[in-house]
Structure 1
Amino acid sequence: MSVKPAVPSVGTLMVDTSRRDRVGEFRGVSGPYWSLRPVTGGTEWEAEPEDVRPADPAERLRAKTARANARSHGALL
């Protein structure tokens, strides 16, 4: 019997280990899945909660830097 992970707050940076450690912003729960959104904008994706973990400090810094760079280039976020 597996223990379900606690649902994070909206906006928390999370890592989807099933997608080569892709970092996304937690957006909410959709049925049995968690919805994540790329930090540089784009289409949300759904992940199994068991495959998602909080981003560590280095991953958060890389994500925030990527977001700032995208904004500086005029990307819509």
Structure 2
Amino acid sequence: MVDTGRADRVGEFRGVAGPYWSLRPMTGGTEWEAEPARVRPPTPAERIGAENARCNARSRGDVL
């Protein structure tokens, strides 16, 4: 998902936390809360970029 309220940050949907959606960076890290009205599905290019970043992080041995 893309959080337009945070400079189009891409993250995985993790669940609902009250009135917000919890998203987590594709490369691992701390979840953040996003307003559902400011979240949209990623474009194909955004999805490929996020998946590529995840693969690169995994190849470096980063904890996802």
TM-score (norm 2): 0.99
Give the alignment's Cα RMSD to 1 decimal: 0.3
Unmatched tracts of structure 2, length 5 or more: none
Q: Secondary structure at the match of 1:27?
A: strand
Are 1:21 and 2:15 matched, yes or no? Answer: no
Decide which of 31, 36, 41 is 1:49's aligned counterpart.
Answer: 36
Question: Alignment length, in residue pairs?
Answer: 64
C-alpha distance in 1 between matches for 2:49 and 2:43: 10
TM-score (norm 1): 0.82
Unmatched tracts of structure 1, length 5 or more: 1-13
| Structure whose residues are more often helix by fraction | 2
Q: Percent identity between the aligned chains?
A: 75
Structure with max Cα Rg:
1
